[in-house]
Structure 1
Amino acid sequence: MLPVAAGASVDPGNALHAYMRGRLADGDGAPGLALDSYRAALAGDPASLEVARRSYFQAVISGDMPLALRSAAVLERDGLLPRDGTLLQIAGALNRKDWPGATLLVDRMVAEGNFAFLAPIMRSWISVGEGRYAPPVIDSADRFASLARRYLDEHLALLALRDGESAQPMINRALSLRTSGVDLSRLLFAGQLAVRGAKVEALALLPEEQANFAQARKDIASGKSFPIHGKALTAGQGFALLLLRLASDISSDGSTGTLGIRLARIAAFADPDGPAAHIVAADLLSRAGHAAYAVNEARAVPANGWYGALAQAELVEALAAAGKRTEAIVLARALAAVPHAEPERHVRLGQLLAQEKDFDGAASAFRAAQAGYPADAVPWALLLFEGSALEQGAHWNEARTVLERAARLAPDEPTILNYLGYAQIERRQNMDAALELLKKASALKPEDASITDSLGWAQFVTGDIDAAVPVLERAAAGAPSDATINEHLGDALWAAGRRYEARYAWRAAAVFAEGETAQRLAAKTKEGMKPEYAAR
């Protein structure tokens, strides 16, 4: 039974039913139904902490600010407000232009210790709302001072632009410090400069012959009206941009946790018309498995606007994550076909085509990506992508030429050495040279189980069984759920006369194997090793 406050007038049966429906919808991947259910449950049982907790997270992730605020109020009464809840409440205060309330909430945030390093910049934006701009001041004695300074230049530049001051040095520093979202920042600063008549400076921020900036450059050059953020920023917009930067930073290591998503959503609450919030949210939602929401976020940005190209790129990712691969490929083709399409557009198309086993199309896309670089400066990764597509598409001779070129460009890159070496071992070509490539790759990256497996298998097929077994054992220890590695180990153990252990390794491989591999493993586990049962 859900906890109900004494004296509360509710229908606990209906509230419980709505709550359980929300839990089931959560588990079934139906976020819309889950949100509606939690909303009904909280209305029916407004004192329930469990309903409020789930409603809070679902509401923030789905973008329902009223429900998020109601849930936050319930949680706050019992001291259970999540650490980003105060940021949500600050966004609400800024939307109401409640500057004293926003200031008190920032003070509370500092006292709580969560996100306190952002407080000086937040207070400065609140002062903008109050009409008495005070620049952010970071106390050098503060233990988080260095962290706060990472965010300072961007906001000093935006605040300076509000007052018509020169901001170019700060803009340059801010862009140099960005590790992600640089294109978003360029568009933001360009809009701020252009609306103040600094057309030359605005265009200088947007590299020519890059499709992502084509519409913005065209509008600036012709003097057309500018997009959102093409006027002095409000306190809410400044706050939103700060949260978006933080959301991007904490997610830049590949993390798919929900904190980044919640920060992006709270940014959108504070700046509901800002395209950057939708774009960042779409990226983070896709990565975290919330593909349906990601599609909606990407589509919320007009495709023909300044930010449209960036949003469309995220839409490709979201559609693919949602299982709409045909639609994703159609859009990716269209994005790659425009004049001055960035290499990244071709790469994404190539990756999608490779996943659909259109390896010829993928190789063509990866070659198109290479055309965006000088012939002597093509990134080795693009050559590896092309070589892999060609190899999987049964064009081995072409693939080998491309992979050897990649190895010449990056002779100490273990990924390339491994791919080129193992592909030749599989074909029983240039065995001695291939083995040397794999030895070098393993020495460069000894902790990589896949590379270790490649070396051990090469040693096995070249007849050095005594050397192969301990290497393959090490590989299996590093990747116990890898069917290929366990099968390789089993074959080597059998050849070494360790029949019981070989069958054990084959059984371990069979747990994760499918199709022909599963049939092969079952056969040799039962009958022992025969030439026709050898690992591929």
Structure 2
Amino acid sequence: MLTVPVAVPAGASVDRQGALHAYARARLADGDGAMGLAVDSYRAALALDPASVEVARRSYVQALESGDRALALRSAALLEEQGALPREGTLLLIGEALGRKDWARAREMTARMVEEGNFSFLAPIITSWISLGEGHYAAPVVAGQDRFAALAQRYVDEHVALQALGNGDLTAAVPAIRRAIALRGGESAALRLTLAAQLAGRGAKAEALMLIPPGEAAFARARADLARGKVKAAAVTPVQGYARLLSRLAVDVASDPSGTAMGIRLARIATFADSGGAEAQLVAARLLSAGGLAPGGVAEARKVPVDGWYGVLGQAELVDALAASGETQAALALAKKLAAEPDAGAERQVRLGRLLADSEDFDGAAAAFRAAQAGYGEGELPWALLLFEGSALEQGKRWDEARAVLERAAALAPNEPMVLNYLGYAQIERRQNVAAALDLIKKASALKPQDASIADSLGWAHYVTGDVARALPVLERAAAGAPGDATINEHLGDALWSAGRRYEARYAWSRASLFAQGDGVARIAAKVEQGLKPEYAAP
């Protein structure tokens, strides 16, 4: 039902019929992925019937996903009046209070956040930023006995470092910087840039340069500016620090598929708090692209200044966002441009290689993956780069070359299930070295027994070697773990047919046909109709 019977603010006009039409239009546009029309229609419905909790709730969600700050705030205010504001809405209100430097309101909302429970582990960090704004700074303290202490500790060092740098306290900042960088690991590029700028802005040029790895394109501009002494960096403000906190949280929440929607909302709230913050824009671009809202990811990535310190990182996110939004040629053109620049590095070559592989330019993909290996010395080469190259060569029907590369990968990583499985299964498909290939897959399965893809390889290898009885339970386990995988269900159907279970075989093939692509479509359809014949056997 559209309208919940609640009090209408004095002076507000209500056109429920018009609101109903606008709401219906919004829902249809929402379902069709027409975000712009959906947002406009929700905004219209909310204006026509401001008492509707349902319209406000839908408007709130759509406003966060689209990045419409004004609509998000208006919807949140209406939901707040009715006691229906989602828990992350409190985070939105905290950000607004910090932006206005309304420290009392920020403290009030932070206390409410603690009472609500969902994000209470953030409180020590948020209150430390509030105290900085109030002028009587108190560093964040995470009590060891607090049940959420481990969660808070994941974020606290970065903020201790930034706050200490803002206060000119290098003694407190440097060890916190080291801990924060170590904790972020391979995801620390943007953080390194931010901390380096803050260090340089406080006169600690040598310490800043230590954070910026030489010979990497992502850091080239920063190193050049640092070397010339061209760095001026204002201290991070409370609202900027808060935005950084939410961005980090958004990435962690979205790392679980069930947290994608929440991660996007948190990232958007971060961009509302710090609208010019490159790190918040980078995170929002990444999560929107990964969460099915790629046009928004493109827009966010384009906000990152190309000629700034974060420009290279922004361009990388833009490539991914363009690809996710279906703008394949634009993504490829940008990826090729980035990969051709001096000191491009392995990451750019891998990004290009993946795009080329997705476009079925397997020769180009193999060349890009090979180029990614060039910067590594003897004994440093990551096995994944060899697996990428071998996979591209194999898909490009250059099997002899592929096998040599994959064997190098297996020698480099003898206990890596992905490598063992790929090398083993590729040989099983070609009916080559079947016994040795089966041993490789058995080892991969022992190392990763819950992996449905590896279980499929093992079951199919048993089938190919004539052991149908052993193959069936393994393939059934694989199908249970990946019910939407066409290859696994086709393999299961072939094994079931060979075991005389014809009805179940056709059911498995029918399920496979729902997800089949390319040559598999006709082959599986023929099996459903005629049964298993030698010419219809799965590869």
Interval of TM-score (by shorter of Structure 1 and Structure 2): over 0.9
Which stretch of structure 1 is more off in the superposition, 424-433 or 401-410? 424-433
Is residue 114 from structure 1 mapped to residue 118 from structure 2 by the alignment? yes
The one-letter amino acid paired with 1:153 is: D
Indicate how the Cα distance of structure 1 residues 256 and 140 shifts in structure 2: closer, same or farther if over 3 A, else same: closer
CA contact (8 A) 2:200 2:231 kept: no
1:282, CA displacement in angstroms?
0.3
CA contact (8 A) 1:256 1:288 kept: no
CA contact (8 A) 1:186 1:205 kept: yes
1:225, CA displacement in angstroms?
4.4
1:213-362 matches, cutoff 5 A: 213-226=219-232, 230-253=233-256, 257-362=260-365
1:395, CA displacement in angstroms?
0.8
Indicate how the Cα distance of structure 1 residues 236 and 499 shifts in structure 2: closer, same or farther if over 3 A, else same: closer
CA contact (8 A) 1:316 1:332 kept: yes
Deviations 1:339-394 (A, max 9, x none): 22231111111010000000000001111111222232211111111001001111
Counterpart in the other structure of 2:188 = 182
1:4, CA displacement in angstroms?
5.0
Counterpart in the other structure of 2:39 = 35
Aligned-pair identity (%): 66
1:96-495 matches, cutoff 5 A: 96-166=100-170, 167-179=173-185, 181-226=187-232, 230-253=233-256, 257-495=260-498
Deviations 1:56-88 (A, max 9, x none): 111122222222121111111221111111111
CA RMSD across the alignment: 1.9
Counterpart in the other structure of 2:88 = 84
CA contact (8 A) 2:3 2:51 kept: no
The one-letter amino acid paired with 2:451 is: D
Question: SS of the residue aligned with 1:224?
Answer: coil
Among 65, 72, 86, which residue is 1:61 paired with?
A: 65
CA contact (8 A) 2:7 2:51 kept: no
CA contact (8 A) 2:97 2:106 kept: yes
- In structure 2, C-alpha distance between the alignment counterparts of 1:151 and 1:525, rounded to whole Å: 55
Counterpart in the other structure of 2:19 = 15
Deviations 1:20-78 (A, max 9, x none): 22111111111111111111111111111011101111112222222212111111122
Which stretch of structure 1 is more off in the superposition, 461-470 or 298-307? 461-470
CA contact (8 A) 1:488 1:535 kept: yes
Counterpart in the other structure of 1:5 = 6
Question: SS of the residue aligned with 2:230?
Answer: coil
Which stretch of structure 1 is more off in the superposition, 428-437 or 439-448? 439-448
Indicate how the Cα distance of structure 1 residues 254 and 185 shifts in structure 2: closer, same or farther if over 3 A, else same: farther
- In structure 2, C-alpha distance between the alignment counterparts of 1:505 and 1:344, rounded to whole Å: 40
1:177, CA displacement in angstroms?
1.6
- In structure 1, C-alpha distance between the alignment counterparts of 2:526 and 2:243, rounded to whole Å: 60
Which stretch of structure 1 is more off in the superposition, 63-72 or 287-296? 63-72
The one-letter amino acid paired with 1:165 is: D
Question: SS of the residue aligned with 1:151?
Answer: helix
- In structure 2, C-alpha distance between the alignment counterparts of 1:427 and 1:114, rounded to whole Å: 53
1:258, CA displacement in angstroms?
1.8
| Unmatched segments (≥5 aa) in structure 2 | none
The one-letter amino acid paired with 2:537 is: A
Which stretch of structure 1 is more off in the superposition, 508-517 or 443-452? 508-517
- In structure 2, C-alpha distance between the alignment counterparts of 1:298 and 1:287, rounded to whole Å: 13
CA contact (8 A) 2:254 2:263 kept: yes
The one-letter amino acid paired with 1:234 is: T
Give the TM-score normalised by the residue count of structure 2. Answer: 0.94
- In structure 2, C-alpha distance between the alignment counterparts of 1:146 and 1:309, rounded to whole Å: 33
The one-letter amino acid paired with 1:282 is: A
- In structure 2, C-alpha distance between the alignment counterparts of 1:459 and 1:383, rounded to whole Å: 27
Indicate how the Cα distance of structure 1 residues 63 and 534 shifts in structure 2: closer, same or farther if over 3 A, else same: closer
Q: How many residues align?
A: 533
1:122, CA displacement in angstroms?
1.3
1:265, CA displacement in angstroms?
1.6
Give the TM-score normalised by the residue count of structure 1. Answer: 0.95
CA contact (8 A) 1:291 1:321 kept: yes
1:482, CA displacement in angstroms?
2.7
- In structure 2, C-alpha distance between the alignment counterparts of 1:313 and 1:105, rounded to whole Å: 36
